[in-house]
Structure 1
Amino acid sequence: MKILAINGSERSRGSTWLAAQEVASHAELRGCRTDVINLAEKRVLACDCGACNSRPDPCPVDDSVGEVVAAMIEADAVVFAAPVHGFGLSSLMQTFIERAGVGHLRFTRPLTNTIGAAIVVGRRYGHLDVHAQLLHNLLLNRFILVGSGFPVTIHSGGEQGILSDTEGMDALRRTVDRIIDVGTALIESGTRLPRPEEVERRIGRTG
């Protein structure tokens, strides 16, 4: 299976990047294909058209959001990794999930039944609020959420940065294991989950 980690930090090589790299490294040890996308290295623009909720077609803004969405659709599992900024979600990640959701994903919900998880990195406060926001976004896009039993909230203020938070890093690795266990079971069982368009028809949004 393929796991994609999306680093939503404005610093492309900071603590959140290290967490995303650990997702990839641990998954590769178990034989998965991985990719890490650093949003700081992409062009993610805010939309100012004022018609996002009413337009019937994908967002026309010329940036990298469509490219990242395509990578998400290709993956079997997506992990959002984001830092806490000002007690909330980083502005870059916030812009991305808004643009991706309203501009690209809401038309056909193509990420339905993709496995999803969230990782939050910060010094001391706001982790759970940001984690909840990311989970809500995953639920909105009909991901299958998995976890290790504890939210992956990692403190970055120790002498070794995120590596000082052994409990948080352990939760990260156990969450990756859960992603792989659930994904592998679905693939090996041949279970066919409802396709996005079937879900849309069932809830009366398409003919």
Structure 2
Amino acid sequence: MKVLLVNGSPHANGCTFTALTEVADTLKTHGIETEIVQLGNKPISGCLGCGVCMKKGNCFMDDPVNLFLSKVKDADGFIFGSPVHYAAASGHLTSFLDRVFYGKSDLFANKLGAAVVSCRRGGASSAFDQINKYFTISNMPIVSSQYWNQVHGNTPEEVKQDLEGMQTMRTLGHNMAWLLKCIEAGKNAGIPLPKREPKTATNFIR
């Protein structure tokens, strides 16, 4: 079993990375393979709605989106982390997620998802809610923790002093490992994945 963790901060080893590392280290204690994907600090374009990816499978833009999508089929869970910018996820991560999930919900269906946010003081709840919406439109069970998945601090050292936040990250790791093993046990017991109906789209203006 494998979990991909995405660092949506331009700072490779900053506060968001510190939180994600705490989750990853906890998952490893359960024998879960992890990989932290760094989005880096180069620009990532938002989705243009051109539909090329629907026809060819990949986006025409050569950036971290296609590399990440190549890893999705081998992953069983995903954790997307972001610093909080103006009470929202970073523009970097938002552009990334818009393109990763556009028309590709089948790749993520029935796989676990979780959001992690890092902030100095406020805005964490709205950013957390924003990221979770990608899961709830893609048939993904959301993994919870003992509190909303957030840490506070201006530096990695300050984040480590947020004892409740770091404990929340560890609890998230334990809960994700448990659910992954429950799903695997269900498969081994012959319990099928939920049957999905053909999708019906209802437009309000005809």
TM-score (norm 1): 0.85
The one of 161, 165, 176 aligned to 1:164: 161
Q: How has the CA–CA distance of structure 1 residues 20 and 159 changed in structure 2, closer, same or farther, with 3 Å as cutoff?
A: closer
Unaligned runs of 5+ in 1: none
Alignment of structure 1 residues 180-191 onto 2, 5 Å: 180-190=177-187, 191=191
Q: By how many angstroms is 1:81 displaced?
A: 0.9
Q: Is the 1:42–1:64 contact (alpha carbons within 8 Å) kept by the matching residues of 2?
A: no
User: Which residue of structure 2 aligns with residue 151 of structure 1?
Assistant: 148
User: Which residue of structure 2 aligns with residue 121 of structure 1?
Assistant: 118
- Give the 3-state SS of the residue equivalent to 2:108 in structure 1: coil
The one of 109, 112, 136 aligned to 1:112: 109
- Cα RMSD of the aligned pairs, angstroms, is 2.3
- Give the 3-state SS of the residue equivalent to 1:68 in structure 2: helix
The size of the alignment, in residue pairs, is 196
Alignment of structure 1 residues 31-42 onto 2, 5 Å: 31-40=31-40
Q: How has the CA–CA distance of structure 1 residues 69 and 159 changed in structure 2, closer, same or farther, with 3 Å as cutoff?
A: closer
Alignment of structure 1 residues 1-207 onto 2, 5 Å: 1-40=1-40, 44-48=44-48, 51-52=50-51, 56-57=54-55, 58=57, 59-102=59-102, 105-106=104-105, 109-157=106-154, 160-190=157-187, 191-194=191-194, 199=196, 201=198, 203-204=199-200
Q: By how many angstroms is 1:143 displaced?
A: 1.1
Name the CA distance, whole Å, in 2 between partners of 1:56 and 1:159: 39
Q: How has the CA–CA distance of structure 1 residues 149 and 23 changed in structure 2, closer, same or farther, with 3 Å as cutoff?
A: closer
Q: How has the CA–CA distance of structure 1 residues 115 and 42 changed in structure 2, closer, same or farther, with 3 Å as cutoff?
A: farther
Q: Deviation digits for residues 135-174 of structure 1, max 9, x if unmatched?
A: 1111122211111242111111479321111111111111
Q: Is the 1:158–1:165 contact (alpha carbons within 8 Å) kept by the matching residues of 2?
A: no
Name the CA distance, whole Å, in 2 between partners of 1:3 and 1:10: 21
Q: By how many angstroms is 1:62 displaced?
A: 2.4
TM-score (norm 2): 0.85
Name the CA distance, whole Å, in 1 between partners of 2:29 and 2:54: 43
Q: By how many angstroms is 1:86 displaced?
A: 2.4
User: Which residue of structure 1 aligns with residue 204 of structure 2?
Assistant: none
